[in-house]
Structures are given as structure tokens and as C-alpha cells.
């Protein structure tokens, strides 16, 4: 693999993070869907790890990036979880790299082998965004596995179960880099400031989420690699923000659930924009990303509300 360079694409450019780590933006042709989804490629000598291939619809972008980086083979494709925006392109990617082994949570394997139910559930939650991401191709069962520890040549990968965002969520550690998927939410760097929100779709579990925060807090990691989007070297700051946000959302969303307000999402958003440190930069987001985030904030509020009602 060689250093960072532009890829001939209207949507993305590979970002060289370190000598071994690359970020591949997986931008989508919809307003605000840039700097939102990324895939990570880690290489050492001739060994290559890919973290989250992304949606099926962006696999051509990923393949072009891998070609630009001279990736002739992939040892492991490691999935943080099986949602469409992280794993939806796995089946298609494996057609091009059939030797790769895919690692995911045990609970996710059957859904990737026979993805019809996962696709239908995704359409109910995401609506036309599911179509934007693309329908999953079935994955050969022989290509899927779960392991607590993975080794590819000199690359050692530790695997941690970090449910909350989804029951099948995993995080991975390579050296001092933690690939956190959505266990710590959605990240958008803004200079010295950070925009951060919990990713709590239907299926979110508050207790699991908080337990996962403890697991991540105990790990020695200097860099957090997000599935959405990019990297932070401020682990403690991120964890503090997520912990504060979790408790604040519990209080605010719980209040409006009890009030049974017909303007639930609007009232929660208005309150949190004025009180949540993670959302304090919201008004400085680019307008198209702001529009995207209003949609996904509403989705997260609804998921968090469902989780509260289950407690």
C-alpha cells in the first residue's frame, strides 16, 4: 500500500491517518450524506484488515479506493455490527476478495447468511434511506466467523462485545487504536470542538450501552476510530461527553414521554440543543449536515424513548 492520494471519484479521497491506517470516506449522493460513513483499512507489511465495508451502494467507491491503495488481498473484514451502513456491502465485497474472512458477532451471522428479515426490518426503520444504502447480498456462511482474538501476520486484534447501539455490536483494538463503530455515537470534529450524539435506533438498550462505556473506559487506547465519522485522540473527553449525554437524554426524553407531548421530538430537540454539551456545536454544522442530523436525532430520540419504556 502507498501513501494518501486522491481517488478519481466525485465523492471521496482516501485519508492517510498514519503509516498503517487509512480512512476511506463512503459518501452517498444525497444532501448531507458526506463525512458520515467511513471504512477503515489497516495494513502492516502484506497483511490487511478492513473495518466495516459500509453500504452495498458504496462498494464501488471502496473498491476504487482499495485499487488506488494497491490492496491485492484482504486478510480479515471485521464488522462492528450488521446494520446496512456498516455491513450491507459485505456480500458484494467478498465477490472481489473471496479469500477474506469476515468477523462479526455470533448473533449477526444468520442475518448475513439469510438477510431477508434484516432488509425488511431496515426498511421499516430507515424508509427510503434503506434504498439509498442498498439491499444486502447473502454472505456465504463459510466466510463468517467470530473470535475473541484475531491474528493476521504481525497484526493482533482484540475483540470486545460492546452492545447498546445494537445487541450484536463489537469493538476492536489494534495496538492503541480502538475501532468503536457506533458504541460511542456519531462524531463530527469541529476544530477544538466536537459534535457528538448517541446513536440510539429502535433496538437500543440503555443498560447495555452504559456497560459498554465501562468496558471501553477500561481499555488502553489513545485513538478512537468512529464508523461515523473519523478519529479522535481524546478518549476521556469523548467518554465524558457520552456519559453526560446518556443521563441527560434519560432525563429529558423521560420527561416528555411522561407528558405525552404530541410535539415530542421537537420539544426534546429544543431542550437538548440548549443543554447537551455534545450538541452544543449543532448550529455551526454545515447546513446540509445539520439537516441530516435533525432527521437522525429524531430517529435516536424515538429509539431512546422505546428503550426507556422497556426499563
173-185: per-residue pLDDT in tens?
999 999 999 999 9
**Residue 130 belongs to domain with CATH number:** 3.60.15.10
- pTM recorded for the entire structure: 0.93
Total number of domains constituting the chain: 1
Q: How many CA atoms lie within 13 A of 60 on its CB side?
A: 8
| Segments in the chain below pLDDT 70 | 1-12
Res 287: pLDDT:
96
Q: Domain range holding 48?
A: 15-234
Q: Is residue 268 part of a domain?
A: no
The C-alpha cell of 206 is what? 440503555
Contact 67, 31 (CB under 8 A): no
Res 258: pLDDT:
84
Res 12: pLDDT:
53
Sign of CA dihedral 174, 178, 180, 183: positive
Amino acid at each position: 500500500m502507498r501513501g494518501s492520494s486522491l481517488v478519481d471519484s466525485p465523492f471521496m479521497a482516501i485519508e492517510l491517518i498514519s503509516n498503517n491506517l487509512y480512512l476511506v470516506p463512503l459518501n452517498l449522493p444525497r444532501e448531507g450524506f458526506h463525512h458520515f460513513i467511513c471504512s477503515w483499512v489497516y495494513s502492516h507489511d502484506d497483511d490487511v484488515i478492513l473495518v466495516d465495508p459500509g453500504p452495498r451502494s458504496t462498494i464501488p467507491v471502496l473498491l476504487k479506493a482499495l485499487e488506488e491503495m494497491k490492496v491485492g488481498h484482504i486478510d480479515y473484514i471485521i464488522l462492528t455490527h450488521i446494520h446496512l451502513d456498516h455491513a450491507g456491502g459485505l456480500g458484494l465485497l467478498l465477490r472481489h476478495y473471496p479469500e477474506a474472512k469476515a468477523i462479526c458477532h455470533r448473533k449477526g451471522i444468520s442475518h448475513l447468511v439469510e438477510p431477508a428479515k434484516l432488509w425488511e426490518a431496515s426498511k421499516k426503520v430507515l424508509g427510503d434511506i434503506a434504498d439509498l444504502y442498498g439491499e444486502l447480498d447473502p454472505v456465504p456462511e463459510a466466510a463468517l466467523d467470530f473470535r475473541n482474538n484475531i491474528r493476521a501476520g504481525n497484526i493482533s486484534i482484540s475483540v470486545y462485545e460492546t452492545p447498546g447501539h445494537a445487541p450484536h455490536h463489537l469493538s476492536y483494538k489494534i495496538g492503541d487504536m480502538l475501532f468503536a463503530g457506533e458504541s460511542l455515537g456519531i462524531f463530527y470534529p469541529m476544530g477544538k470542538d466536537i459534535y457528538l450524539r448517541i446513536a440510539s435506533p429502535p433496538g437500543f438498550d440503555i443498560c447495555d450501552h452504559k456497560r459498554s462505556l465501562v468496558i471501553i473506559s477500561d481499555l488502553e487506547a489513545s485513538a478512537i476510530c468512529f464508523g461515523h465519522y473519523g478519529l479522535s485522540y481524546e478518549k476521556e473527553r469523548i467518554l465524558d461527553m457520552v456519559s453526560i449525554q446518556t443521563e441527560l437524554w434519560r432525563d429529558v426524553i423521560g420527561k416528555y414521554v411522561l407528558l405525552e407531548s404530541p410535539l415530542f421530538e421537537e420539544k426534546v430537540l429544543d431542550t437538548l440543543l440548549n443543554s447537551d454539551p455534545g450538541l452544543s456545536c449543532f448550529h455551526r454544522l454545515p447546513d446540509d449536515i445539520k439537516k441530516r442530523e435533525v432527521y437522525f436525532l429524531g430517529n435516536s430520540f424515538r429509539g431512546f424513548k422505546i428503550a426507556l419504556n422497556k426499563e
